[in-house]
Structures are given as structure tokens and as C-alpha cells.
Amino acid sequence: MLTIGASSACFYPDVTEESFIRLCKMNVKTAEIFFNSPSELEDSFTSLLKSYAEEYGVSITAVHPFMSFAEHYNLFSNYERRFYDYMPLYLKLFEVAAKLGAKYFVFHGAKPSASSSDELYFERFAILSEKAAQMGVICAQENVVHYRSQYPDFMQRMKKAIGENFRMVLDIKQARRTGVDPFLFFDAVGESIEHIHISDFNDKKDCITPLKGKFDFKEFFIETIKRGYKGDYIIELYRDSYKDAAEIEEAFLKLQKIMGEIKEGL
């Protein structure tokens, strides 16, 4: 753990398998797969990704579903039947994650406008979390701007309601967009944060390639480790976050060196 990795989302809209191969050829050994289409959940596609991972010695640590944008409607409305009708899709996603050896399933959840109460949200999430756990996968709530999960107090209430099964993905870009210091999430539910998405920023853009902006990654790594974090740090960018893909490889290698130096001092 405490490794630097990257998400296939960095190369969207390139198709998922080509994005993953690009990460592999950059010598990234810890990767997150962002699925973009239902056909990518078929066994033949899962087998293809798994063969690439084995060929290049890559560990797929997490998967991100293509349905995140609609979770608030499909899973968290007051129309209970819709929740159970969409359950098979999420069971398939959990199954795919398990086949790829991914420990985490990244979950966005509901927007504030969803008709369900927070209590119903927690209840539904707990059901999904239990189903994922039965397949050896952790369903982890990500902080996302304009979603209920954007603030630390929601995460704290969610953890209290769900208990020890609550796990969180911290995205520092999303915290930045919300205007929340990412360490406030550590203050609220630090022991439950097990996966982190990283990016940088400058005066013009809130998401750019790491080490190209103002964010102090060395300080961030040291502080998160002091607070007990033991997971991975995954570079997750958008296509307009960089000019050339070589920037991602350069950032990966530099961050890996920084992390190596930190780990030597532990």
C-alpha cells in the first residue's frame, strides 16, 4: 500500500481497454478502471483487462461505474421498486470488480435533490455495501461536489448510521471544488478513508496534472500517513487537465520518487 497509481479515466474518451494499456506501458503498477459502457461488463471484456493486468504486473485496486451520474435517481428515489430493479446491474459491477481483484467500488450516490431522506440513503447504501462485501468488494462513498457526500458532516452521519462497514474515497479535486479542506474529512471519518484520488490546481484550473500547480504533495502524503492512511494515491484527471499524456507519466514517476523517500524515512 501507500503506492502511486492512476485511473484509466485520465484518457477518456479513449476506450477503456486502450486507456488501461496506456497506463500499463507507463509502468503504472496500481490502477483504477473507470468503466464507460454496459458491454464492458461482459466476461470477455473482463478477461481482456485481466490478461493485460497479468501481462504487465498491474494491480487493479478499484473500479468506477459508468452509472454514477444517475445513482441519485436509480437508487435513491422514494420509488423503491426502481432501487431493486437496478440492483442486478450493481451486483454485476461488484462481480466484475471481484474478478479483476479490485478491492474498492467507487460510489457517488445521491444529489441533494434526490427525493429520499438521508436515513433512506444510508439504508440503501448499507444494502449495496453488504452485497458487495459478499463478493469481497468494499463499496466506498466518494466525496463529490453537488452531491450529498460533498461535506464532511454528511460522511460523519453516514458512518454513524452504517457503522464499521462505512468506507470512503477522498477526492482532493472534489474537495477543492466544494471549498472544503480535505483534512476536514480526515477529522470527521479519517479511519474510514481507504482510497484517495489526487490532482493539482493553479489559478486558472482546479484540476491539472500533479506537480504542475500549487498543491504540496509531499506535505499531503506525510500528513495523511501521520493520520493513519495506508491506501493508494490514484492520479485521476480529465482530458483537458493536461496538454500531453507524457505529463501523466512524468508526474507518476516524480510522485513515486517522493513517496519512496517518505517511506524510507518511516
205-231 pLDDT per residue, tens: 999 999 999 999 999 999 999 999 999
- Asked whether 29 and 4 are in contact (CB, 8 A), the reply is no
Rounded Cα distance between 182 and 201, Å, is 14
How far are the Cα atoms of 38, 194, 197 from residue 6, in angstroms, in the given order? 22, 15, 9
Lowest mean pLDDT among 11-20, 26-35, 210-219, 257-266: 257-266
Amino acid, single-letter form, for residue 71: E
Task: Please list, in sequence order, all residues whose beta carbon lies within 8 angstroms of the beta carbon of residue 249, skipping any fewer than 6 positions away.
Answer: 26
User: In the structure, what pLDDT confidence band is assigned to residue 36 with cuts at 50, 70 and 90?
Assistant: very high
Average pLDDT over residues 22-40: 97
C-alpha cell at 221: 502524503
What percentage of the chain has pLDDT greater than the value 70?
Answer: 100
pTM: 0.96
Which phi and psi angles does 27 have, rounded to 5°? 70, 25
- Asked whether 13 and 239 are in contact (CB, 8 A), the reply is yes
Asked whether residue 113 carries a pLDDT value surpassing 90, the answer given is: no
User: In the structure, what pLDDT confidence band is assigned to residue 69 with cuts at 50, 70 and 90?
Assistant: confident
- Asked whether 2 and 225 are in contact (CB, 8 A), the reply is yes
Asked whether residue 15 carries a pLDDT value surpassing 90, the answer given is: yes
Supply the pLDDT for residue 233.
98
- Number of separate helices (H) and strands (E) present in the chain: 10, 8
What number of other Cβ atoms are within 10 A of residue 25's Cβ?
Answer: 10
What letter would DSSP give residue 143? P
Rounded Cα distance between 23 and 261, Å, is 23
- Counted residue by residue, the chain has a size of 266
Handedness of CA 40, 44, 45, 47 (dihedral sign): positive
Supply the pLDDT for residue 266.
80
Supply the pLDDT for residue 150.
98
155, HSE (Cβ side, Cα atoms, 13 Å): 28
Tell me the CATH number of domain 4-264, given options 3.90.79.10, 3.30.70.980, 3.90.980.10, 3.20.20.150. Answer: 3.20.20.150
Supply the pLDDT for residue 68.
86
Q: Where are the domains of the chain?
A: 4-264
- Dump pLDDT digits (tens) for 175-208: 999 999 999 999 999 999 999 999 999 999 999 9
